[in-house]
């Protein structure tokens, strides 16, 4: 398991890696592993390479690229959610699910 740290820079500061591209790769992998390689929105399990990372609070609204704002998402969900409010979009698309709690715990 890759340790789950708050940002790519933490992998450098903790000397887990020496290069920033490797730090970004580890950061992305740790988030996917933390969620057992499941898309947090639809709940389907994917290969790590098939998952993207979604900014829960969209980048265009100032959402940071930090662990606390990133969740694994399949390409389909990531695209469909776009810059919508994640909870509104999720409820409209899937109805209420226990996955909402997973996301809330992660972002708070």
Residues 48 and 22: their CA atoms lie apart, in Å, by 16
Residues 92 and 89: their CA atoms lie apart, in Å, by 5
Exposure pattern of 71-86 as b/e (b: 16+ CB <10 Å)? bbbbeebbeebeeeeb
Indicate which single residue of 42, 53, 102, 107 sits in contact with Zn ion (rule: CB under 5 A). 42
Indicate which single residue of 41, 69, 86, 90 sits in contact with Zn ion (rule: CB under 5 A). 41
* Shortest distance, position 1 Cβ to Zn ion, whole Å: 23
For residue 106, give both structure tokens.
Answer: 């992660």
Indicate which single residue of 56, 70, 71, 74 sits in contact with Zn ion (rule: CB under 5 A). 74
Tell me the number of residues near Zn ion by CB under 5 A. 5
Indicate which single residue of 5, 71, 77, 103 sits in contact with Zn ion (rule: CB under 5 A). 77
* Residues near Zn ion (CB under 5 A): 39, 41-42, 74, 77
């Amino acid at each position: 398991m890759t340790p789950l740290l708050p940002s790519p820079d933490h992998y450098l500061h903790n000397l887990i890696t020496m290069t920033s591209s490797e730090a970004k790769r580890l950061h992305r992998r740790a988030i996917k592993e933390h969620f057992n390689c499941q898309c947090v929105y639809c709940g389907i399990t994917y290969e790590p390479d098939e998952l993207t990372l979604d900014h829960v609070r969209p980048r265009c609204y100032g959402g940071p690229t930090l662990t606390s704002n990133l969740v694994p998402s399949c390409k389909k969900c990531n695209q469909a959610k776009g810059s919508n409010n994640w909870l509104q979009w999720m409820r409209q698309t899937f109805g209420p699910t226990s996955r909402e709690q997973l996301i809330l715990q992660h972002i708070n």
